[in-house]
């Protein structure tokens, strides 16, 4: 009866669950399960049962079994996450965690080092984050600005690289994707001496992506692509991928030197409206993200640890990036020509961090730190008629958009027509204390203060209570806040085409989130676990594009691009980024895991609802009900996994041009499969298939789903990958 009571309690209560990062966790004892360590939740190693957060962790073996090649693949198996693949180039995969939408709201780390552009651009989840380099991935659900500052809003993903000793030689892999792409990588790793460990990694993903226009030809999707004529019709309609990655890490005694370079160039077309932006080969979006860091363990004792890190990094939009705009040679004629509107942007920074972890007593631990960032920021340019000239300096001449009275974009009082660097600094400090009043209870209290030279002060507190009524059951109550920086990307974003114009807004304030969560994790037996959660997210000062308000005296905004349609008209639709309204999301999740013999069965279900109070509508981009089922077999030589993903109808924004916020994008059932065979310790073959049933289905499109974005994003049909891995 007592055991039944705790099973029922876990099913109606709430969440904090992790899979063992190095080994199949169902092969461990209960004591070992409760002592698994994670580092992301508190910036230090701690038991998964003690972490003041909901944490999920996957090991290298699990990544291999599931057949995940890039970080984007992982989202299809995570409970509580809405994912829409193959959307517009600056996003590629749209991710919504517990009803909080936006790739820039997920902080991505690599060995604790920030991967997101520091100036707030959306993180691209494309074929650009290979997973065969990592020994584990830790995912923290919920806000973490109390530790990490800006952009740790909906969650944190920490990619923890392998050490040289984990590789102990050379590992190489090569594979072919049925869309006509090659995926190849090589890793060298070695523990050269007791004090020296080295790893070097390189990967290339080159070829084409799925050709959506050949399979989704109905009027609201891709019909126009097949109706291009003239010069436009002669251009190749394909979706290129030209990606590569480099990484290195050298450890010598207390010092670690690391670097990484992520080069991404993929199609910018999918999910844009093909009459607004052409589906042709040279319509691409590319970027480079680079980092180098030096970490020094200043002091490490039984009671006190002190470490310091210096990081330099930058982010650059590839000058080839463009929005290719189709036009007609005569008014209302067929689309027979086009031109590219090129983009460029850059940011670079140097950052210093000092962190201390002090075990004051058996019942009290304090972790604290300070950071300072100096940032060079050149916001994304207007649509340029030719690729940006890198030798011209960081400036963007907008004199073409100055109206007869000298106002840029016709914005009253705004006479600046050359945009240059918008540099800033940020100082941050945090402290977090963990107190154990009882052996089976931990109270966590902390907060972080940031001062930014642009938007001034922010403070984000955190509170957690962890209680273990019995050794096999962990209950957690969590509360925290987070914020999105009103970065230069949002403040200075501008673009124009003959149909619409986006202009800067320098008055944006941080977007804020308050989160409350209750969770439970119960190990019913060595072979079965249940975790549940209920949560509530309150969001305010939402940063979003909105129609620019009328100016004093109805003074018109100025878009000379509009004159390409009608030579007498210089106005039209104008939008800005602004703080507008409030939202909330709430829901519940449950994960059940059961292992028998060599099979692992996992079932995850989530329910999410919420409201956008500005529009009095449901929060967009969200399926109210989602179900993930995973079956994994792990034999001595053969391994296999099957993932079934079901999502219900997706709520749309009121601006949706097809569903108008009153209907839902249809849900779908999608099946993924992966099979591998280990010939010996040195050779493994792998075959995987995405969308095994070739189901035609749709996901959410990014942004407002209107003007230039399709009302829904068609998803890839069947994709097959075959590969081989060598170890020597």
Give residue-wise pLDDT tens across range 659-681.
876 789 999 999 999 999 999 98
Lowest mean pLDDT among 186-195, 498-507, 538-547, 700-709: 700-709
- Is residue 25 over pLDDT 70? no
The token pair at 237 is 């309609």
> Is residue 367 left, alpha or beta, with left meaning phi > 0 and alpha meaning psi from -120 to 50?
beta
Average pLDDT, the chain: 90
- Is residue 475 over pLDDT 50? yes
Q: Are 266 and 85 in contact (CB under 8 A)?
A: no
Give residue-wise pLDDT tens across range 90-116.
899 999 999 999 899 999 999 999 999
Residue 471 pLDDT: 87
Give whole-number Cα distances, 518 to 87, 440, 485, 521, in Å: 34, 17, 27, 11
Q: How far apart are CA 147 and CA 483, in angstroms?
A: 12
Q: How far apart are CA 600 and CA 635, in angstroms?
A: 12
pLDDT band at 219 (very low <50, low <70, confident <90, very high): low
Burial 1-10 (b: 16+ CB within 10 A, else e): eeeeebeeeb
Give residue-wise pLDDT tens across range 617-629.
999 999 999 999 9
pLDDT band at 527 (very low <50, low <70, confident <90, very high): confident
Residue 691 pLDDT: 96
Total domains in the fold of the chain: 1
Which of 489, 640, 644, 664 has the alpha carbon at shortest distance from 577?
489
Mean pLDDT, residues 177-201 taken together: 95
pLDDT band at 247 (very low <50, low <70, confident <90, very high): very high
Give residue-wise pLDDT tens across range 352-382.
999 999 999 999 999 999 999 999 999 999 8
- Is residue 15 over pLDDT 70? no
Residue 601: helix, strand or coil by DSSP?
A: strand
Residue 374 pLDDT: 97
Q: Are 157 and 129 in contact (CB under 8 A)?
A: no
Q: Which domain holds residue 597?
A: 2-727
Give residue-wise pLDDT tens across range 279-330.
999 999 999 999 999 999 999 999 999 999 999 999 999 999 999 999 898 8
Q: Which residues contact 596 (CB under 8 A, 6 or more apart)?
A: 527
Measured from the Cβ of residue 133, the count of other Cβ atoms closer than 10 Å reads 25
- Is residue 26 over pLDDT 50? no
Residue 661 pLDDT: 63
CATH code, 607:
2.40.170.20
Q: What are phi and psi of 504, to 5 degrees?
A: -65, 160
Residue 568 pLDDT: 81
Q: Which residue has better confidence, 53 or 23?
A: 53
Q: How far apart are CA 314 and CA 103, in angstroms?
A: 19
Residue 674 pLDDT: 97
Q: Bridge partners of 606?
A: 589, 626
Q: How far apart are CA 96 and CA 105, in angstroms?
A: 9
Q: Are 311 and 351 in contact (CB under 8 A)?
A: yes
Measured from the Cβ of residue 420, the count of other Cβ atoms closer than 10 Å reads 12
Residue 199 pLDDT: 97
pLDDT band at 47 (very low <50, low <70, confident <90, very high): confident
DSSP states along 577-598: EEE--EEEEEEEEEEEEEEETT
Q: Which residue has better confidence, 7 or 676?
A: 676
Measured from the Cβ of residue 431, the count of other Cβ atoms closer than 10 Å reads 16
Q: How far apart are CA 20 and CA 599, in angstroms?
A: 16
Half-sphere exposure of 680 (CA within 13 A, CB side): 4
Residue 9 pLDDT: 31
Residue 34 pLDDT: 53
Q: Are 83 and 92 in contact (CB under 8 A)?
A: no
Q: How far apart are CA 484 and CA 102, in angstroms?
A: 11
Residue 27 pLDDT: 57
The token pair at 665 is 């994008």
Q: Are 234 and 224 in contact (CB under 8 A)?
A: no
Mean pLDDT, residues 492-507 taken together: 89
- Is residue 88 over pLDDT 60? yes
Burial 699-708 (b: 16+ CB within 10 A, else e): bbbbbbbbbb
Residue 498 pLDDT: 82
Residue 22 pLDDT: 42
- Residues written for the chain: 728
Give residue-wise pLDDT tens across range 539-551.
999 998 889 999 9
- Is residue 19 over pLDDT 70? no
- Is residue 21 over pLDDT 70? no
- Is residue 30 over pLDDT 80? no
Q: How far apart are CA 445 and CA 435, in angstroms?
A: 9
Q: How far apart are CA 498 and CA 339, in angstroms?
A: 12
Mean pLDDT, residues 511-527 taken together: 92
Give whole-number Cα distances, 552 to 406, 411, 413, 623, in Å: 16, 10, 11, 41
């Amino acid at each position: 009866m007592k055991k039944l009571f705790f099973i029922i309690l876990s099913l109606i209560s709430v969440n904090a669950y992790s899979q063992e990062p190095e080994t199949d966790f169902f092969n461990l004892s209960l004591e070992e399960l409760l002592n698994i360590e994670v580092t992301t939740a508190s910036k230090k190693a701690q038991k998964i049962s003690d972490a003041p957060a909901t944490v999920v962790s996957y090991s290298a073996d699990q990544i291999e079994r599931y057949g995940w090649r890039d970080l984007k693949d992982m989202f299809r198996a995570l409970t509580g996450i809405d994912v829409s693949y193959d959307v517009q180039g600056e996003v590629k995969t749209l991710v919504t965690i517990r009803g909080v939408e936006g790739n820039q709201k997920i902080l991505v780390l690599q060995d604790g080092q920030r991967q997101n552009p520091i100036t707030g651009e959306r993180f691209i989840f494309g074929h650009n984050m290979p997973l065969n380099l990592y020994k584990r991935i830790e995912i923290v659900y919920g806000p973490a600005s109390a530790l990490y500052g800006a952009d740790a809003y909906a969650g944190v993903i920490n990619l923890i690289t392998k050490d040289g000793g984990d590789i102990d030689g050379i590992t190489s892999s090569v594979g072919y994707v049925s869309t006509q792409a090659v995926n190849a990588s090589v890793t060298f790793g070695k523990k050269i001496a007791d004090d020296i460990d080295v790893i070097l990694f390189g990967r290339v993903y080159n070829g084409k992506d799925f050709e959506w226009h050949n399979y989704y030809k109905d009027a609201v999707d891709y019909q126009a692509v097949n109706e291009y004529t003239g010069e436009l019709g002669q251009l190749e309609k394909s979706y290129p991928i030209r990606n590569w990655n480099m990484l290195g890490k050298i450890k010598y005694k207390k010092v670690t030197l690391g670097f990484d370079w992520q080069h991404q160039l993929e199609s910018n077309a999918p999910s844009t409206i093909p009459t607004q932006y052409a589906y042709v080969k040279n319509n691409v979006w590319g970027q480079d993200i680079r980092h180098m860091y030096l970490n020094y363990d200043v002091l490490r004792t039984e009671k006190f640890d002190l470490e310091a890190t210096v990081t330099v990094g930058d982010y650059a939009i590839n000058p080839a990036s463009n929005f290719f705009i189709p036009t007609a040679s005569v008014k209302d004629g067929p689309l027979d020509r086009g031109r590219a509107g090129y983009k460029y942007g850059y940011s670079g920074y140097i950052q210093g961090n000092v962190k201390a972890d002090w075990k004051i007593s058996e019942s009290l631990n304090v972790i604290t730190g300070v950071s300072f960032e100096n940032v060079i920021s050149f916001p994304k340019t207007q649509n340029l008629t030719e690729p940006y000239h890198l030798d011209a300096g960081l400036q963007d001449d907008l004199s073409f958009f100055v109206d007869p009275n000298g106002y840029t974009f016709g914005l009253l009082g705004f006479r600046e027509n050359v945009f240059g660097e918008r540099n800033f600094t940020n100082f941050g400090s945090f402290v977090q204390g963990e107190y154990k009043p009882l052996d089976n209870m931990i109270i966590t209290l902390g907060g972080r203060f940031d001062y930014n030279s642009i938007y001034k002060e922010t403070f984000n507190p955190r509170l957690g209570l962890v209680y273990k009524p019995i050794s096999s059951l962990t209950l957690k109550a969590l509360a925290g806040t987070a914020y999105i920086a009103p970065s230069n990307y949002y403040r200075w974003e501008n673009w124009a085409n003959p149909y619409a114009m986006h202009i800067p807004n320098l008055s944006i304030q941080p977007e804020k989130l308050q989160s409350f969560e209750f969770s439970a994790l119960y190990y019913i037996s060595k072979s079965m676990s249940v975790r549940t959660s209920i949560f509530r997210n309150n969001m305010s000062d939402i940063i979003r594009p909105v129609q620019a308000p009328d100016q004093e005296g109805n003074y018109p905004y100025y878009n000379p691009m509009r004159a390409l349609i009608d030579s007498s008209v210089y106005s039209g639709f104008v939008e800005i980024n602004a703080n507008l309204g409030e939202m909330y999301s709430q829901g519940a999740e449950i994960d059940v895991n059961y292992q028998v013999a060599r099979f692992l069965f996992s079932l995850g279900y989530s329910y999410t609802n919420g409201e956008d109070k500005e529009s009095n509508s449901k929060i967009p981009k969200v399926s109210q009900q989602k179900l993930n089922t995973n079956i994994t077999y792990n034999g001595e030589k053969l391994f296999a996994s099957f993932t079934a993903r079901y999502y219900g109808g997706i709520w749309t924004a009121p601006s949706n041009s097809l569903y108008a916020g009153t209907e839902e994008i249809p849900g779908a059932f999608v099946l993924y499969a992966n099979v591998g065979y280990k010939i010996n310790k040195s050779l493994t073959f792998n075959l995987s298939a995405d969308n095994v049933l070739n189901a035609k289905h749709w996901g959410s499109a990014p942004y407002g789903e209107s003007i230039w974005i399709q009302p829904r994003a068609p998803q890839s049909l069947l994709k097959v990958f075959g590969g081989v891995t060598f170890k020597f």
